């Protein structure tokens, strides 16, 4: 019977006759009552038989087989009330499962909807829209801004700025000059460009991903219900006891009574009830689990495979640092750059504007703004000409150092020029999610034994992220088909977590696929069994906690119910319980185990730390202070760099400013953390050891600040003496490194507990 007919036909078709028959029986109309109960039994027998046949075709024989035997036996010995009760219980259990199992689809509908259907082709000097199927090798196409590249090809005119994250996992846009090859499925993040097709739609990269996802879905093994696993033991035992009672007594009614009492309602009702309760809990956390089978499997996961971009990282470029040329102020340069970039829709411009507003900078309205494709945006801010984008001609030593640093950090550079002079640069990176490290630790605590990062991104970028998070294996530069092979190569129950189009085949191939659905590709959400609807990775740990707890409660409920049923079956085999009273006794057992199963509705702590309101407020306060202090930390490193070139009075002034910042702002912040935040965190996490290393960092910061103060006392009026310079630079570099690392550790270990991060 189709899923939608279970609740609309089978359940009312069995419950209605049972209730109406009961009314007739109470009025002394036993004949009509029996007829109604028999009709309900027959109605339930049809779909139940089909479910058993379907299970056998797939190599399974589960709980439904006992129900079919009990229904058949009830009809054979004319115990119609018992049959009707079994039919209602069967329909109710299936309705629960089917309600939980309505899948938004692994039909890849979104992936197909995203497939381009049109292309813009140059024909006789004009651009015409043509069907994608009409494109042939050698056609010259126009790819407008924001459009998906329709077929594989090479850039023939203009600069192609492509968002390739859906295919490669690379979060930052990639520039392709004339003659460079590009792949279908990427998005034009810049201005329109011309493309020379090197293939047709059917042999394009994107079409290959669609085919691969379909194949992975078709080859995925069906999920086995928890009830069926219990029934594998319970069914033979039931048949043995029923057969033995029939042979020993010669009375078929005893065998039917055993089957009626043995009807696996704890399996058909209690286990699904616990799983549905678990689905309700995960939904409250912003996690949509597409069915009870998926939740059960999530609770058994031992290997976790994660995509990098958009899963372990934010999936979008974030401003890491703003570096200013000597004599320039980073905050002022950021303000001017963001003012111009307000008028641009470029993804890098959005990142610059976002961080400027987060830092509370007031952005003036620019004049005469123009955007040059492939070069950047230009405008006038407070009478000065500001250009944001590619460097004009920064060839000095400072620019060389910045370029080397960007290359070492794997960062993208956006240069800021004022009146034709290059004055600063913005470094952008795809940063690790603040909750990623804690989430992986929670998952290991919950039972995950192996964590693999699987990404299409470059190996050096992937390794840098993996080093921070401590994953067990890194597989980088993996195309979609290699991702599928890697997932299938894992031996234990495996979950795959991703968000891109290139992840959809691997999500379909995994035992349970988990999609980051807040900003990820719709195709990934369609191919997954679990969808995280908000942009928080720790929801995965919450969902896994809930899955394990629900599965444990479902198992307890089923186990208790089966033990009670065994006791009742023994009594029925001895002839002390007839079929109809046996069905009522089974109902009492059902009520008991269902009440136990509904415990899964309550929240369990799991691996999540529970915070009181006071600790929550402290985390928010110190998180805000970090956001305010962080931009000034870069000035410490910049001052250390400048000491090599100009160790005179200007350097002394900057050193005093840094010391004042450290004494007036940083040290009070660190002292308040030590006195107020750390004791609260120790209470929340249950151990004083969790803050020991942070306290040691405070001591090191204080030592370095005192050392800097001593250097200032020893310095002459015209600047530090030459014999101070090496130690001064070491002191400043040390302060910068310790403070940045310390801030990052606190944000990952403590601030990520805050409701600001847990909010849906």
How many Cβ atoms sit within 10 Å of the Cβ of residue 401? 12
SS3 249: helix
Distance (Å, whole) CA 125 – CA 352: 39
How many Cβ atoms sit within 10 Å of the Cβ of residue 300? 16
Distance (Å, whole) CA 40 – CA 74: 12
406 and 419 in contact (C-beta within 8 Å)? no
Beta bridge partners of 719: 716
Interhelix angle for 613-643 vs 330-341, to 10°?
Answer: 110
Joined tokens for residue 359: 């830092």
Quick one: CA dihedral 166, 169, 172, 173, positive or negative?
negative
Among all chains, which residue has been given the structure tokens 């590619």? 390
Which are the contacts of 734, defined by CB distance < 8 A and separation ≥ 6?
A: 704
Joined tokens for residue 519: 């900003």
Q: What is the largest CA-CA distance in the chain?
A: 113
Distance (Å, whole) CA 265 – CA 564: 11
Among all chains, which residue has been given the structure tokens 């750059």? 337
Helix or strand (DSSP H, E) at 21: helix 11-26
Q: How far is C-alpha 592 from the geometric centre of its chain's CA atoms?
A: 36
* CA-CA-CA-CA dihedral for 296, 298, 303, 307, to nearest 10: 150
Among all chains, which residue has been given the structure tokens 């999609």? 515
Distance (Å, whole) CA 584 – CA 690: 55
Which are the contacts of 343, defined by CB distance < 8 A and separation ≥ 6?
A: 366, 369, 371, 377, 379
169 and 456 in contact (C-beta within 8 Å)? yes
SS3 56: helix
How many Cβ atoms sit within 10 Å of the Cβ of residue 560? 17
Joined tokens for residue 498: 């991703």
* DSSP E strand stretches across 525-602: 530-532
Joined tokens for residue 85: 């009760």
Joined tokens for residue 397: 């030593």
Strands 473-475 and 494-498: unpaired
Interhelix angle for 226-249 vs 538-573, to 10°?
Answer: 0
Among all chains, which residue has been given the structure tokens 């005179």? 648
Beta bridge partners of 490: none
Distance (Å, whole) CA 185 – CA 112: 12
Across the beta sheet with 187-188, the strand order is 174-176, 160-163, 187-188
Interhelix angle for 649-661 vs 692-714, to 10°?
Answer: 150
Shortest CA distance to 67 belongs to which of 586, 576, 573?
Answer: 586
Distance (Å, whole) CA 507 – CA 514: 7
607 and 281 in contact (C-beta within 8 Å)? no
Catalytic site positions: 307
Distance (Å, whole) CA 255 – CA 237: 13
Shortest CA distance to 426 belongs to which of 353, 527, 517, 510?
Answer: 353
Beta bridge partners of 514: 497, 530
């Amino acid at each position: 019977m189709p899923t939608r007919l279970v609740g609309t036909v089978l359940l009312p078709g069995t419950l209605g006759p049972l209730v109406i028959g009961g009314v007739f029986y109470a009025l002394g109309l036993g004949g009509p009552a029996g007829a109604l109960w028999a009709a309900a039994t027959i109605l339930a027998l049809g779909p139940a038989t089909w479910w058993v046949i379907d299970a056998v075709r797939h190599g399974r024989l589960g709980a439904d087989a006992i129900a079919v035997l009990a229904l058949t036996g009830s009809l054979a010995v004319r115990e119609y009330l018992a049959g009707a009760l079994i039919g209602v219980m069967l329909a109710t259990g299936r309705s629960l499962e089917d309600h939980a199992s309505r899948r938004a689809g692994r039909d890849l509908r979104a992936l197909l909807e995203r497939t381009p259907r049109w292309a813009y082709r140059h024909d006789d000097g004009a651009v015409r829209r043509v069907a994608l199927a009409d494109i042939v090798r050698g056609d010259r196409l126009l790819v407008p801004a924001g459009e998906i590249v329709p077929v594989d090809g090479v850039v023939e005119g203009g600069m192609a700025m492509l968002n390739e994250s859906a295919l490669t996992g690379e979060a930052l846009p990639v520039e392709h000059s004339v003659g460079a090859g590009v792949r279908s499925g990427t998005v034009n993040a810049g201005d329109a460009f011309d493309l020379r097709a090197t293939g047709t739609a059917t042999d394009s990269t994107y079409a290959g991903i669609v085919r691969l996802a379909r194949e992975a879905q078709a080859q995925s093994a069906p999920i086995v219900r928890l009830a069926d696993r219990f029934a594998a033991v319970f069914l033979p035992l039931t048949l043995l006891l029923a057969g033995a009672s029939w042979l020993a007594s010669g009375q078929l009614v005893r065998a039917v009574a055993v089957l009626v009492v043995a009807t696996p309602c704890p399996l058909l009702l209690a286990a699904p009830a616990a799983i549905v309760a678990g689905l309700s809990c995960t939904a409250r956390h912003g996690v949509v689990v597409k069915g009870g089978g998926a939740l059960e499997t999530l609770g058994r996961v031992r290997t976790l495979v994660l995509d990098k971009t958009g899963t372990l990282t934010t999936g979008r470029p974030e401003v890491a640092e703003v570096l200013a040329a000597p004599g320039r102020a980073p905050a002022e340069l950021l303000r001017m750059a963001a003012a111009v970039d307000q008028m641009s829709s470029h993804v890098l411009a959005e990142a610059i504007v976002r961080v400027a507003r987060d830092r509370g900078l007031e952005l003036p309205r620019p004049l005469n703004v123009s955007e040059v494709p492939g070069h950047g945006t230009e405008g006038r801010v407070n009478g000065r000409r500001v250009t944001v984008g590619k460097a004009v001609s920064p060839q000095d030593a400072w620019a060389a150092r910045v370029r080397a640093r960007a290359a070492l950090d794997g960062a993208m550079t956006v240069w800021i020029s004022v009146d034709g002079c290059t004055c600063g640069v913005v470094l952008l990176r795809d940063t690790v999610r603040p909750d990623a490290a804690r989430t992986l630790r929670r998952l290991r605590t919950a039972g995950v034994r192996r964590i693999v990062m699987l990404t299409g991104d470059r190996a050096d970028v992937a390794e840098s992220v993996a080093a921070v998070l401590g994953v067990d294996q890194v597989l980088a530069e993996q195309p979609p088909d290699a991702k599928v092979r890697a997932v299938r190569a894992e031996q234990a129950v495996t979950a795959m977590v991703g968000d891109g189009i290139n992840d959809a085949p691997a999500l379909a191939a995994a035992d349970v696929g988990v999609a980051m659905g807040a900003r990820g590709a719709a195709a990934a959400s369609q191919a997954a069994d679990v969808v995280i609807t908000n942009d928080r990775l720790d929801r995965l740990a919450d969902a896994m906690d809930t899955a394990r707890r629900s599965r444990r409660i479902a198992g307890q409920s089923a186990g208790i119910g089966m033990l009670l049923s065994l006791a009742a079956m023994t009594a029925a085999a001895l002839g002390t319980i007839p079929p109809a009273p046996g069905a009522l006794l089974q109902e009492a057992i059902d009520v008991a185990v269902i009440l136990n199963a509904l415990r899964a509705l309550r929240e369990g702590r799991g691996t999540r730390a529970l915070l009181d309101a006071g600790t929550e407020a402290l985390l928010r306060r110190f998180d805000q202070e970090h956001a305010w202090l962080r931009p000034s930390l870069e000035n410490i490193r910049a001052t250390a760099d400048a000491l090599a070139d100009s160790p005179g009075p200007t350097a002394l002034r900057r050193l005093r400013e840094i010391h004042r910042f450290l004494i007036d702002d940083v040290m009070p912040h660190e002292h308040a953390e030590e006195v107020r935040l750390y004791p609260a965190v120790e209470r929340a996490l249950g151990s004083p050891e969790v803050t020991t290393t942070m306290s040691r960092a405070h001591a090191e910061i204080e030592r370095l600040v005192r050392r800097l103060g001593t250097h200032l006392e020893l310095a002459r009026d015209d600047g530090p003496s030459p014999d101070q310079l090496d130690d001064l630079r070491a002191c400043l570099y040390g302060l910068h490194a310790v403070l940045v690392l310390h801030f990052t550790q606190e944000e990952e270990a403590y601030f990520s507990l805050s409701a600001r991060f847990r909010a849906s």
